[in-house]
Structure 1
Amino acid sequence: MATTPKQQGFFFPAEWHPHRATWLSFPQNSDSWDYGERLERIYPSYMAFIKAIAESEKVCINATDEQQKALITDLIKQYEIDPNQIEVPIHATNDSWCRDHGPAFLINPETRQRMIVEWGYNAWGGKYPPYGDDDQIPVKIAHYLGLPYVVPGIIMEGGSVEFNGKGTVLTSKSCLLNPNRNPHLNQSQIEQYLYDYYGVDQVLWVTEGIVGDDTDGHIDDTTRFVNEDTVLTVVEHDKTDDNYHPLKQNLEDLSKMRLLNGKQLTIKELPMPKPVYDSGVRLPASYANFLITNGGVIVPTYSCDKDEVALGIIQECFPDRKIIGIEATEIIWGLGSFHCLSQQEPIV
């Protein structure tokens, strides 16, 4: 009897697969956003992000309570966003990083069914308690949408995995093999969970993440599929920069990889922005943390001279999509950006 999602024909589609909606968890955490003052400073960029998504698909925003829902409703009106494109269910959260605590949506094209994977979530190795409400978000959304869900019973974050939609997942050793996630599992056992619950046939591993990334090296800050056999990966040419060696190592890792059909990856390089600091702390600013929507690609920018170069490279990779750069310097203060904040819900 078929037991795993893969055996039942389910898989996690590539991000460019058509979406019904994108899910967000409204920012509220005082530890992430500096006890309120900094939180309000992210609203212009955050609402521009919502508006850009809403141009081509629904935006579902988890609100912790009715008071927060009222705030969201006011902001939607203030920033002239089409309210018909917005859904605001009451789902209590601890923080805003929906990529990691949100549901992993699987599809089965043959049966035209969808399923949610409820991976465990422990705030990147227990770094930021409490996280109990975040850990329950996939189940709440499954109930909200009337979808079945499955519980693998291990820790997994959406930002740690990147899919080409054709059987391959890309991830990083620094994150998935970190003992603060699943210390009882070795690499081959983790790979089996990825096969069984994401419906993939191949796991490819890079080594490292970028400096300042408190997730221990999420792949969505370094390397992204832009089609089934092409990746964009960030590089640092300044040999004195702390990111130079880890990103060089990742580039070497990628150059040795082969896909299921034996084909070598096509690798396109994306620059890193100039370092972004706050109070002397290096923040994980990266152009790779973009979100692909039905109508465009939303890219974080950092008010530096590399912004336009990065946007141009991304446009070359997505010639049929609108490239939307949004200033993210205030957003990145929370140690994540647009991809970290969002999780797409595919149609089938």
Structure 2
Amino acid sequence: MTWMMPPEWAPHDRLWMAFPRVGQTLGDDPASADEARDTWAAVANAAVGFEPVTMVVDPSAVGEARARLSSEVELVEAPLDDFWMRDIGPTFVIDEAGGLGAVDWTFNGWGANAWATWTRDDRIASFVGERAGARHLVSALVNEGGGIHVDGEGTVLVTETVQLDPRRNPYATKERVEQELERTIGATHAIWLPKGLWRDYAGWGTRGHVDMVATFAKPGTVLLHWQDDPAHPDYAVSRELRSVLENATDAAGRSLEIIELPAPAALRDEENFVDYSYVNHVVVNDGVIACGYGELEADERAAAILREAYGRDVVTIDARPILARGGGIHCITQQQPTAGAR
């Protein structure tokens, strides 16, 4: 039996999310915590206008979730450590007969970060997969959903600092990682990017998730985060990644068309250089839920690029409260493809 991860633009049965619960990531400032809850809810309430949404909620956060979420959003209870569904949830795949599978990657808190706990989060992939009626596919590879992007035709984007991270997979080689990605998600050709965004290597970072820097908009076409201000360290990162992509081919042997998604003008927040990326959006049925950063011109420019790239409506949500905690809209969502869509 072979499995294939459909691209994000394939039809979905639903979108999965996890609601913020009290803890280190949420923070202890009440106003900031409420802002985060409101933002997670805003993403879910926007997405449910395009497809069903199921929110996994820690029992301690049910009241906060019900107060903010549309009645159309389904709530299911399960104990959580954190609330990044892209990374703690399963990666859904389809077999030759159209059956649904759920890849349960090994999760260790993004490389055993000192601030992370994951005993409860490590059970969420199997919980979600079972709720979805998917076959449980266990992988020994330490990986997260934010660390892969596929074109649905055998190509996967990955970063050397994630799958080859010694705190994730100390004995990994590119060959071993590629073999496991072929077994689990049907990727026959990997494009290895050397790194992720600068800020992703400090604080709440993942040390290089690809979903902050590049994604497929269709086979042969990559959307690339583009920082055009030399004062930002991602100016050099963007150009290094573009050079790699310009010299890469996909599983079909095609050279890649690269579409730049320019970063907003903001360079810093109260912590350091920002990682504000429009690449970190989620594609839903007939739509895209995109990150906004409070800059009307830049947000509208990004929405126009995404609208053209996908041919879908774009809804922009101010994602700064998500980015402040280490991710974006793609990081807090996980699509369940329609069985038989392969």
TM-score by length of 1: 0.91
Counterparts of 2:254 and 2:102 in 1: how far apart (Å)? 31
Counterpart in the other structure of 1:178: 165
Q: Pairwise mapping of residues 204-219 of structure 1 onto structure 2 (< 5 A)?
A: 204-213=191-200, 214-219=205-210
Decide whether the 8 Å contact of 1:283 with 1:335 is kept in 2: no
Q: Which residue of 2 aligns with 1:4?
A: none
Pairing partner for 1:166 from 123, 129, 153: 153
Structure 1 residue 86, shift from structure 2 partner: 2.0
User: Contact 1:30/1:36 (CA < 8 Å) preserved in 2?
Assistant: no
- 1:116 has 2:102 as partner: yes
Q: For the structure 1 residues 281 and 30, does the alpha-carbon distance in structure 2 shift closer, same or farther, using more than 3 Å as the test?
A: farther
Contact 2:41-2:68 at 8 Å conserved across structures: yes
Counterparts of 1:318 and 1:142, CA distance in 2: 28
- Residue 45 of structure 1 is aligned with which of 30, 39, 46? 39
Please point out which of 88, 95, 98 is paired with 2:75: 88
> Counterpart in 1 of 2:48?
54
- The partner residue of 1:130 within 88, 92, 117 is 117
* 1:191-230 pair list within 5 angstroms: 191-213=178-200, 214-230=205-221
Identity over aligned residues, as a percent?
Answer: 28
Structure 1's unaligned 5+ residue stretches are: 1-7
Trace 1:194-273 onto structure 2 (pairs within 5 A): 194-213=181-200, 214-273=205-264
Secondary structure of 2:122's partner?
helix
Name which of 1, 6, 10 aligns with 2:3: 10
Give, as a single letter, the amino acid of the residue that structure 2 aligns with 1:344.
Q
| Bigger Cα displacement from structure 2, 143-152 vs 257-266 | 143-152
Q: Once structures 1 and 2 are overlaid, which stretch shifts more, 191-200 or 234-243?
A: 234-243
Instruction: Specify the SS of the correspondent of 1:292.
Output: strand
1:271 and 1:219 map into 2 onto residues whose CA distance is: 16
Letter in structure 1 aligned against 2:197: I
CA apart distance, 1:278 = 3.9
- Deviation of 1:29 after TM superposition, in Å, equals 4.3
In the TM superposition, what is the alpha-carbon distance from 1:74 to its structure 2 partner? 2.3
Determine whether 1:335 maps to 2:326: yes
- Note the aligned Cα RMSD (angstroms): 1.5
Instruction: Report the CA distance between 1:145 and its aligned residue.
Output: 2.8
Give the Cα separation in 1 of the matches to 2:157 and 2:189. 9
Contact residue 29 and residue 96 of structure 1 kept, 8 A: no
Question: 1:25·1:97 contact (CA, 8 Å) conserved in 2?
Answer: yes
Please state how far the C-alpha of 1:150 moved relative to its aligned partner: 1.7
> Aligned partners of 1:154, 1:29: CA distance in 2, in Å?
29
Output the CA distance in 1 between the equivalents of 2:259 and 2:179. 29
Distance in 1 of aligned mates of 2:173 and 2:45: 42
Greater mean alpha carbon deviation, residues 48-57 or residues 24-33 = 24-33
Paired position in structure 1 for 2:16? 23
Identify the range of structure 1 (133-142 vs 34-43) with the bigger mean alpha-carbon deviation.
Answer: 34-43
CA contact (8 A) 1:64 1:91 kept: yes
Shift of residue 36 of structure 1? 4.8
Aligned residues: 332
Gap runs ≥5 in structure 2: none
Q: Distance in 2 between matches of 1:88 and 1:63?
A: 7
Q: Tell me the CA shift for residue 221 of structure 1.
A: 0.5
| Equivalent residue letter for 1:123 | G
Letter in 2 for 1:61: M
State TM-score, norm by structure 2: 0.93
Structure 1 residues 276, 42: closer, same or farther in 2, change over 3 A?
A: farther
Q: Describe the superposition over 1:292-335 as per-residue Cα deviations: whole angstroms up to 9, x where unpaired.
A: 0002111111112422221111111122x111111112221111
Please tell me whether the aligned partners of residues 229 and 266 of structure 1 are also in contact (alpha carbons under 8 angstroms).
yes
- In structure 1, distance between residues paired with 2:238 and 2:257: 17
Following TM superposition, by how much is the alpha carbon of 1:276 offset from its aligned partner in structure 2, in angstroms?
5.4
Q: Which residue is 1:315 aligned to?
A: 307
Q: What pairs with 1:265-304 in structure 2 (closer than 5 Å)?
A: 265-275=256-266, 277-304=268-295
Shift of 1:187: 1.4
Alignment partner for residue 63 of structure 1, among 33, 57, 64?
57
